[in-house]
Structure 1
Amino acid sequence: MRKISFINLFITLTFLAGCSTSQKLATLKPEPDDASPLIYESNPSFINLPISIKLNDIQNQTNSVLNGLIYEDNNIEDDDIEIKIWKQGPIIIQNDPENRDKKIKTILPLKANIKYRIGTKKLGIELYDTREFNLNGVITLSSEVALTNWKLNTKTEFKSLDWNESPTMTVFGKNMPITYLANPAISAFKSKIEKSIDDAIEKSMDFKPNVLAALEKICTPFQMSDTYESWLRIVPVEIYSTNAKLKNDLFLLDMGMKCNMETIVGKQPEAKFNPNKIVLKPVVKIPNQITANIAAISSYTDASKIMTKNFAGQEFGSGSKKVTVKNVEIWHKDSKMVIALDVLGNVNGTIYLNGFPKYNSQTKEIYFDKLDYVLDTKSKLMLTANWLAQGLILKKMQENCRYSIQQNLEEGKKSMATYLKNYSPMPGVFVNGKMEDIQFDKIQLTNQAMIAFIKINGTVNVSVDGLK
């Protein structure tokens, strides 16, 4: 039997090792950064809220405030008059045909009891004669409309009084017709009627509780994605309003809200709505479009799966020196994306690349600019597989390190659309609108996801039908 010397065995093993078809690559993994808490920076959004309210709703609210005895003055000593006024039927509020788009007309059926004192007081002797009038008719008033400090204010002017019955005066316990005396007496109480109407409309048309209640509901964080556990939180900064105006049977008010839209991953965040800090600022004009800045979230896990599919069936290299990518995993470190490629072939192991995420607006894809091997990976490749470190192979790999966020963008747009299709944040209030094409803004990295911020322009209209 032929014996193999130790030297021959060593040479044989060395030769076989040199002829091996693969090499094991041991590289250091760049550990991901911790970006907690996951609150993303966003630019302020501006939401236009043109509000329309039917005059019929103002009428209903005014009728709910003014019922039965609507005015009473029992002190005759201050101005020689006592007045009691009762509403006899529903108040009618409509556009004033003589001043369309500027004033409202109020028709008030009423009954009045007036005690009017005539006389004087001299040398401690009271010389008075008190007359009592009973009036039953319909008063017509005209009011200018304005909005001040959240409230609808009117400046009402007495226009006319049509008698349902001839005015009477009580004489010896009997009602005697006194039409010729009653008309001059109207001047004694018409200012009281005007003030009663103004006070009632101001009280019934205080928009602050309704606006704040609607805002509170809108600003409650809502879930945009179950998969990524993402929430959208709206935080109002300022509320704007133009002057009120009338058009046909509608009361129109342009309002706008400057707000921050924050996207948060994890458990449901607390609302950041503080009604005490909301101030209504008057402005001359508000744009008729909204600009919403929202976030399309792509988790690293989801993006990794997409890029793994991009590499399927592809080989990188030339001749007998080739590798295939079996799996891709990405994360973020030092404002860059780290891309880990598990390779099999002439080299087995994991190679790490890094680069800056960019967005292609035409293909709606995220890609990575200035992609290169991380320092440790490059050093190991230069020692063991220099052919794999060549720029041509790296460029081909870079072509597959991309993925589309079209679906994410559409999901973000779909989430917004939910709140623009007859959305009712409270009874009687309805929100409708439409959105234009989405525009990419910027990318921000966290420890769980890549956030693509987008802008959406559109219109919003808020109508009030049956305000309570």
Structure 2
Amino acid sequence: MKKIALSLLTFAFLCLLSCSTSHKLATLKPEPDDASPIIYQNVPSFISLPINVKLKDIENKTNSYLNGLIYEDNDIEDDDIEMKIWKLAPITIKNSKETNAEKITTILPLKATIKYRIGTKTMGLNLYNTKEFHLNGIVTLNSKVNLNNWRLKTETELIGLDWNESPTMTVFGKNMPVTYLINPSIKLFKAKIQKKIDEAIEKATNFKPNVFAVLEKICTPFQMNEAYESWLRIVPQEIYTTSSHLKNDSFLLQMGIKCNMETIIGQVPETKFDANKIALKIVNKIPSHVNANIVAVSSYQDASRIMKKNFAGQEFTSGSKKVTVQDVNIWHKSGKMVIGLDLTGSLNGTIYLAGFPKYNAEKKEIYFDELDYVLDTKNKLLRTANWLAQGLILKKIQQNCRYSIKPNLEEGKKTTLNYLNNYSPMTGVFVNGKMDDIQFQKIELSQNAIIAFIKVNGEINITVDGLE
């Protein structure tokens, strides 16, 4: 009788011992779908890009193109004229101040030597009379201005000439004053001066390198949030521009960018800026209010790492049983998201859950609809760890898989506003604007990433102040 009692006691002790030790769970992993490129439909965004170019900048650039001898024609045979023109002092460019006129006035101090041939060649004889004039004065020119193919195009007209010295003509090796003769002869070099000014201003005002340097800078992905490792990437498609407008001492070019905006979670993404793929289009008006449609792309690897933080220090208990999540892995399988949880404690092993990610707009949170153990995991839990298979712990796990993104959206708005308050990514470039609340649109799953679509209304202005 004592032996039977001892045996029963030993059996009970072994049962208790076996229940208090960990069980090893071997489950079949639902293999992820084959990886493929992320394909999604992005809705374009529009950003205002006003460019302010001071006339002083155009003046400086024009002076850099015109120095010393600015025109030379040594062939008298083609049109009976030889001409050399020198710039004597820096050119001045200012607003012409004509009412309702988009014109600039250019003041050019110059001197010129002109050889003018009158006569003919007949019967082998040169019956020419060549006159040489010397001019020293200040030329005033007015130019109509418009924008064409990234450059300012001018139509210049010489409207005045004030002499510093009386014009002279070489007679028998001496310079003789001939003011009464030279004034009617201004037409000889008028067209040359006008053309030279037009060419210099066009060369000085090629805005394309400046605009594209700005675009390349702002299209370089920059970190929005260090904790969530989020990066904003802008991919321009087209540039819109209206006609140039002259106001006070500046030219205003109202431009806008049609682009895709993406938020990438994880490592810094590569830039997608390609100047060769950006088209310039002329439009009548650029809207000031913009819609930014942002695509937030998070790889499953990065999402796994972020969700792991939600489980840090969390224990899931049922009576005396308890488990801790050591690692989290997420991937895509047949339209669902699979969540693999590595457990230690009363049960060692990996359990697999699957569900559909959803967004609750009212609570601003992500949750998983129909989240449940995958079939193989559920069957094995029912046989070896029924306490874990029960709905109570599953609900607790679901709560950790449900997380509010309201702080993320608020932090994202706060961070974005920092870049809309006179942010200067490079010299002479300033970003300003305002934004409304961030609106979460929808979630889509690809085979290697979670894709969230976000809409932001507001104003974004990237001002280029100056022309270097």
Q: TM-score, normalised by structure 1?
A: 0.80
Structure 1 residue 305 corresponds to structure 2 residue 309: yes
User: Are residues 418 and 170 of structure 1, via their aligned partners in 2, closer, same or farther at CA, if it must alter by over 3 Å?
Assistant: farther
Report the equivalent of 1:194.
194
Structure 1 residue 67 corresponds to structure 2 residue 71: no
CA contact (8 A) 1:234 1:259 kept: yes
Report the equivalent of 2:463.
462
What is the alpha-carbon distance in structure 1 between the residues aligned to residue 106 and residue 165 of structure 2?
Answer: 20
Q: Structure 1, unaligned stretches of length 5 or more?
A: none
Report the equivalent of 2:32.
33
Deviations 1:346-366 (A, max 9, x none): 999876432211223343321
CA contact (8 A) 2:152 2:205 kept: yes
What is the alpha-carbon distance in structure 1 between the residues aligned to residue 349 and residue 152 of structure 2?
Answer: 73
Matching residue's letter, 1:360: N
User: Are residues 266 and 34 of structure 1, via their aligned partners in 2, closer, same or farther at CA, if it must alter by over 3 Å?
Assistant: farther
Report the equivalent of 2:433.
434
Report the equivalent of 1:361.
361
Q: Give the share of equivalent positions with the same residue, in percent.
A: 58
Matching residue's letter, 2:296: A
Greater shift, 287-296 or 357-366, is seen at: 287-296
What is the alpha-carbon distance in structure 2 between the residues aligned to residue 73 and residue 342 of structure 1?
Answer: 85
What is the alpha-carbon distance in structure 2 between the residues aligned to residue 48 and residue 42 of structure 1?
Answer: 23
SS of the counterpart of 1:59? helix
Superposition deviation, residue 194 in structure 1: 0.8
SS of the counterpart of 2:200? helix
User: Are residues 355 and 240 of structure 1, via their aligned partners in 2, closer, same or farther at CA, if it must alter by over 3 Å?
Assistant: same
Report the equivalent of 1:169.
169
User: Are residues 353 and 386 of structure 1, via their aligned partners in 2, closer, same or farther at CA, if it must alter by over 3 Å?
Assistant: same
SS of the counterpart of 1:165? coil
Match for 2:325 among 299, 324, 327?
Answer: 327
What is the alpha-carbon distance in structure 2 between the residues aligned to residue 54 and residue 362 of structure 1?
Answer: 49
Q: Structure 2, unaligned stretches of length 5 or more?
A: none
Superposition deviation, residue 196 in structure 1: 0.4
Matching residue's letter, 1:33: P
User: Are residues 388 and 264 of structure 1, via their aligned partners in 2, closer, same or farther at CA, if it must alter by over 3 Å?
Assistant: closer
Superposition deviation, residue 128 in structure 1: 2.1
CA contact (8 A) 1:300 1:450 kept: no
User: Are residues 306 and 15 of structure 1, via their aligned partners in 2, closer, same or farther at CA, if it must alter by over 3 Å?
Assistant: closer
Superposition deviation, residue 293 in structure 1: 1.9
Report the equivalent of 1:275.
275
Greater shift, 63-72 or 117-126, is seen at: 117-126
Report the equivalent of 1:53.
53
What is the alpha-carbon distance in structure 2 between the residues aligned to residue 455 and residue 12 of structure 1?
Answer: 65
Report the equivalent of 1:295.
296
CA contact (8 A) 1:42 1:260 kept: no
Greater shift, 228-237 or 174-183, is seen at: 228-237
Report the equivalent of 1:256.
256
What is the alpha-carbon distance in structure 2 between the residues aligned to residue 122 and residue 131 of structure 1?
Answer: 20
Superposition deviation, residue 463 in structure 1: 2.1
CA contact (8 A) 2:293 2:453 kept: no
User: Are residues 345 and 337 of structure 1, via their aligned partners in 2, closer, same or farther at CA, if it must alter by over 3 Å?
Assistant: same
Q: TM-score, normalised by structure 2?
A: 0.80
What is the alpha-carbon distance in structure 2 between the residues aligned to residue 293 and residue 276 of structure 1?
Answer: 24
User: Are residues 266 and 397 of structure 1, via their aligned partners in 2, closer, same or farther at CA, if it must alter by over 3 Å?
Assistant: closer
CA contact (8 A) 2:49 2:463 kept: yes
Give the CA RMSD over aligned residues.
4.2
CA contact (8 A) 2:424 2:431 kept: no
What is the alpha-carbon distance in structure 1 between the residues aligned to residue 154 and residue 49 of structure 2?
Answer: 23
Map 1:416-427 onto structure 2 (within 5 A).
416=416, 420=420, 422=422, 424=424, 426=426
SS of the counterpart of 2:186? helix
CA contact (8 A) 1:40 1:444 kept: no
User: Are residues 439 and 32 of structure 1, via their aligned partners in 2, closer, same or farther at CA, if it must alter by over 3 Å?
Assistant: farther
Deviations 1:37-60 (A, max 9, x none): 786757244333211111110010
User: Are residues 408 and 246 of structure 1, via their aligned partners in 2, closer, same or farther at CA, if it must alter by over 3 Å?
Assistant: same
Superposition deviation, residue 63 in structure 1: 0.7
